[in-house]
Amino acid sequence: MTNQPEELFTAIDSLLAAVDEGTVLPGPAERVRLREAAGLTQAAVAQALGVRVPSLTAWEAGRAEPKGERLEAYRRLLDGLAHRYPAGPSPAAQPLPDPAEETPASPTEAPASPEPSPTEPPPPARQGPTEPPVPSSRPAVRTPSRTAARSAAPSRPAVRKATAPPVPDPRFPNGPLAVLDGDGSAYGVGGIVLDCPATTVPELVEWTLTTSGLGNPKLNRHGKDSDPLIVLTASAAVRLGLPERLEGHEQRRSLRLPQDHPVVKQVLRAKWQLTRRGFGPWPRIYRKAAAGRRQCVQLAILSWDALDERSWPGVADMHPADTAHVLGLYATRVITPRGSTAVSGLELMTALRPPTKATQDPATGTWVPGHNPGSLGTEPMDPAPPEATPEHPVVVNSGWKGGFLDEEAYQWVRPVGTLTDEECMLPFAVGLDLNTAFLAASARLVVGLSAPDHFHRPTFNPKIPGSWLADLSAIDLDPRLPSPFTPDGTRPDGPAWYQTHTLAYAQQLGHHVAPIEAYLRRETGAYLDPWHDHLRTAYVDTLADLGITQDLTGPEFLAAMEHHKQRDPALAAVLAAIKATVKGGIGKLRERPQGRSYKQGERWPALERPTWRPDIRAAVISKARVNMHRKLNNMAKLTGQYPLAVLSDCVVYPSPGAGPLDFLPHDADGKPRTGVFRLGSTPGLAKLEGVQTMLWAVDLMEQGLNPARHIKGGDATLDEGE
b/e 659-676 (16+ beta carbons within 10 angstroms → b):
bbbebbbeeeeeebeeeb
Sheet strands side by side (includes 517-521) = 452-456, 517-521, 466-471, 495-499
The whole-number pLDDT of residue 6 equals 58
Instruction: Provide mean pLDDT across the span 56-62.
Output: 82
Instruction: Provide mean pLDDT across the span 317-323.
Output: 96
The whole-number pLDDT of residue 596 equals 82
Confidence band of 421 (pLDDT split at 50, 70, 90) = very high
Sign, CA dihedral 55-58-59-65, equals negative
The whole-number pLDDT of residue 594 equals 86
Query: Mean pLDDT for the chain?
Result: 85
CA dihedral 618, 536, 61, 46 (to 10 degrees): 50
pLDDT higher than 50, residue 240? yes
What DSSP string runs through 224-272? -PBPPEEEEPHHHHHHTT--S---S-SSGGG----TTSHHHHHHHHTT-
pLDDT higher than 90, residue 533? yes
b/e 50-88 (16+ beta carbons within 10 angstroms → b):
bbbbebbebbbeeeeebeebbebbbbbbbbbbbeebeee
pLDDT higher than 70, residue 250? no
Confidence band of 285 (pLDDT split at 50, 70, 90) = very high
Q: Report which of 440, 660, 648 is spatially closest to residue 539, judged by C-alpha positions.
A: 440
The count of other CB atoms within 10 Å of the CB of residue 366 is 12
Half-sphere exposure in the Cβ direction for 240 (13 Å, CA): 28
C-alpha dist (Å) from residue 681 to 120, 209, 671, 690: 40, 40, 16, 17
The count of other CB atoms within 10 Å of the CB of residue 165 is 13
Beta bridge partners of 466: 520
The whole-number pLDDT of residue 65 equals 81
The whole-number pLDDT of residue 403 equals 95
pLDDT higher than 90, residue 593? yes
Confidence band of 714 (pLDDT split at 50, 70, 90) = low
Q: Which residues lie closer than 8 Å to 591 by C-beta, 6 or more apart?
A: 606, 612
Lowest mean per-residue pLDDT among 47-56, 306-315, 398-407: 47-56
Residue 703 burial (10 A CB sphere; 0-12, 13-18, 19+) = exposed
The whole-number pLDDT of residue 64 equals 78
Confidence band of 59 (pLDDT split at 50, 70, 90) = confident
Measured distance CA(552)–CA(548) in Å, rounded: 7
CA 540 vs. chain centroid, Å, equals 13
The whole-number pLDDT of residue 145 equals 40
Beta bridge partners of 428: 655, 693
Which amino acid, one-letter code, is at 432? L
Q: State percent of the chain over pLDDT 90.
A: 68
pLDDT higher than 80, residue 468? yes
| Cβ pair 81, 114 in contact under 8 A | no
The whole-number pLDDT of residue 90 equals 39
The whole-number pLDDT of residue 669 equals 81
Predicted TM-score of the model (pTM): 0.78
Q: Which H or E run contains 702?
A: helix 694-702
Q: For the chain, where do the domains classified as CATH 1.10.260 start and end?
A: 5-84
Say which residue, 107 or 134, is predicted with more confidence: 134
Q: Report which of 525, 509, 529, 548 is spatially closest to residue 629, judged by C-alpha positions.
A: 509
Half-sphere exposure in the Cβ direction for 212 (13 Å, CA): 32
The whole-number pLDDT of residue 52 equals 76
Continuous H helices in 316-363: 320-333, 341-352
Looking at CATH, the fold of the domain delimited by 5-84 is given as 434 Repressor (Amino-terminal Domain) (1.10.260)
C-alpha dist (Å) from residue 416 to 232, 333, 491, 502, 704: 53, 45, 17, 27, 9
The whole-number pLDDT of residue 58 equals 78
Measured distance CA(212)–CA(135) in Å, rounded: 7
pLDDT higher than 60, residue 470? yes
pLDDT in tens, 630-653: 999 999 999 999 999 999 999 999
Confidence band of 49 (pLDDT split at 50, 70, 90) = confident
Beta bridge partners of 216: 226
Say which residue, 414 or 61, is predicted with more confidence: 414
| Cβ pair 201, 281 in contact under 8 A | no
Continuous H helices in 546-588: 554-562, 564-567, 569-588
pLDDT in tens, 668-679: 888 899 999 999
